[in-house]
Amino acid sequence: MPQRVLTGIKPTGTPHVGNLLGAIRPALRLADQGLEAMYFIADYHALTTVNDAKELRQLTLEVAATWLACGLDPERTIFYRQSDIPEIFELTWIFDCFTSKGWMNKAHAYKAIVAAAEEKGEQDADAGINMGIYSYPVLMAADIIAFDIDLVPVGKDQKQHVEIARDIAQRINHVYGGNVVRVPQPKIDEDTATVPGIDGRKMSKSYGNQIPIFASPKALKKAVNQIVTDSSPPETPKDPDASTIFQIFKALATPEESHQLAERYRSGIGWGDAKKALIDRIEQEVGEARAKYDALMADPAKIDDLLAKGAAKARVTARATMDRVRKAIGITR
Ligand code: ADP
Ligand code: TRP
């Protein structure tokens, strides 16, 4: 049996180059390696923070169009929207009953919000925390376990959440005996670079330092031109590894291309030329896909249709898992 892999992206922002290189591209490569792959849009996870209906709809379409434009093949993989699979939410409740509150207290996404509030001098430890944020890993466990998944490719920040899914699956199997559900494993790609944003920190929508994948050529140029550089003149030799422009280039380009640009840095390069090299490389990477993205965004009904077809395929497995779990716990007629 080929291994089954699954990963999801929350529609909480317009996809950026960090998402492409850190999540989308590595996940799509797994399907090329002959694994059975499922990709989905975690729209109900986004509801923990996105509370504007139009925005949630728009971002969901953007994330879907991004996956498809970047090469996801809906015939060869299963591509769907989390909210189209009701079994996930039924499982979530069942899993809630097997999840220790202490595990949630330690969960990363929740702790990060508490830490940020503390830093701002907030006295109430529960300020700004809804139950969706608090029990987020339980929904994530249901996303995974519903489909008998073996491997979950995620960034380092999500490793702990997948481990919680593992704990939940093991607890169910322990309590009811045998293999009621499949126990998943995180798959962390250590080589995937953390792509820096235009201010040099990790590219993230939380920092507002991102380069959108499918920005228009004009907007792309504007974003790259905002990358902060020093005032050294063009002829001064420069250290590529100390340059954000080079770091982003390297994450995208082949080793050979990176080597060539590094040589230009060492023999002296104007910042304008370095930025142009980056703009051209991003353009080369996404130019063709952008046309596909724009065409998809102009036809939301087509995206909806593809996602609905994917959900119908995905539900077959989710229903089978649900039947097994219901039977195991004694919810049967
Ligand atoms: P953001 O930090 O913008 O909120 P998300 O947390 O929604 O991004 O990330 C979605 C996926 O993209 C995750 O798998 C995450 O590991 C990956 N990712 C996000 N930012 C980067 C980055 N700067 N470099 C590499 N991967 C990233
Ligand atoms: N929590 C993930 C993130 O923030 C998104 C996600 C939701 C996910 N459910 C998942 C990822 C299941 C992998 C598997 O990036």
Residue appearing with tokens 């590529």: 240
The Cα 175–Cα 48 span in angstroms is 31
What is the predicted pLDDT for the residue at 333?
78
Which domains does the chain show, CATH number per domain? 4-195+299-329 (3.40.50.620), 217-294 (1.10.240.10)
User: Ligand 2 pocket check: which of 4, 9, 50, 134 to mutate, most ligand atoms within 8 Å of Cβ?
Assistant: 9
DSSP annotation of 4: E
Q: Write the CB contacts of 61 (distance below 8 Å, at least 6 apart in sequence).
A: 297, 300, 303
Q: Which ligand is nearest to the CA of 14?
A: 1
User: Ligand 1 pocket check: which of 9, 19, 199 to mutate, most ligand atoms within 8 Å of Cβ?
Assistant: 19
The Cα 113–Cα 150 span in angstroms is 30
Averaged pLDDT score across all residues of the chain: 95
Distance 224 CA to ligand 1 centre (A): 19
- B/e letters for 110-145, b = 16+ CB within 10 Å, e = fewer, are beebbeebeeeeeeeeeeeeeeebbbbbbbbbbbbb
Joined tokens for residue 313: 């395929």
Ligand 2 neighbour 154 (Cβ under 6 A): yes
Give the model confidence (pLDDT) of 3-43 as tens digits: 999 999 999 999 999 999 989 998 999 988 989 999 999 99
What is the predicted pLDDT for the residue at 125?
87
Residues linked to residue 186 through DSSP beta bridges, in sequence order: 152
The Cα 86–Cα 168 span in angstroms is 19
Q: Which residue, 24, 61, 7, is CA-closest to 213?
A: 24
The Cα 281–Cα 65 span in angstroms is 21
For the chain, give me the number of helices (H) and strands (E)? 15, 5
What is the predicted pLDDT for the residue at 65?
98
Q: Which residue, 99, 132, 128, is CA-closest to 115?
A: 128
Distance 312 CA to ligand 1 centre (A): 28
Distance 1 CA to ligand 1 centre (A): 31
Q: Which ligand is nearest to the CA of 204?
A: 1
The Cα 150–Cα 65 span in angstroms is 26
Phi and psi at 9, nearest 5°, equal: -125, 135
- Complete DSSP assignment for 269-325: --HHHHHHHHHHHHHHHHHHHHHHHHHHHT-HHHHHHHHHHHHHHHHHHHHHHHHHH
3-class secondary structure per residue, 137-187: HHHHHHHHHCCCCCEEECCHHHHHHHHHHHHHHHHHHHHHCCCCCCCCEEE
The Cα 214–Cα 29 span in angstroms is 20
Enumerate residue ranges in the chain where pLDDT < 50: none
User: Ligand 2 pocket check: which of 83, 138, 140 to mutate, most ligand atoms within 8 Å of Cβ?
Assistant: 140
Q: How far is CA 240 from CA 86, 237, 256, 261, 302, in A?
A: 50, 9, 14, 8, 44
What is the predicted pLDDT for the residue at 189?
83
Ligand 2 neighbour 143 (Cβ under 6 A): yes
Distance 62 CA to ligand 2 centre (A): 17
Distance 19 CA to ligand 1 centre (A): 5
What is the predicted pLDDT for the residue at 143?
98
Q: What angle do CA 300, 212, 26 make, to 5 degrees?
A: 85
Q: Write the CB contacts of 56 (distance below 8 Å, at least 6 apart in sequence).
A: 11, 43, 46, 47, 50
Q: Which residue, 227, 230, 267, 192, is CA-closest to 18?
A: 192
Distance 154 CA to ligand 1 centre (A): 9
Tell me if 35 sits within 8 A of 3, measured CB to CB.
yes
Q: Is 41 helix (H, G, I), strand (E, B) or coil?
A: strand
Ligand 1 neighbour 202 (Cβ under 6 A): yes
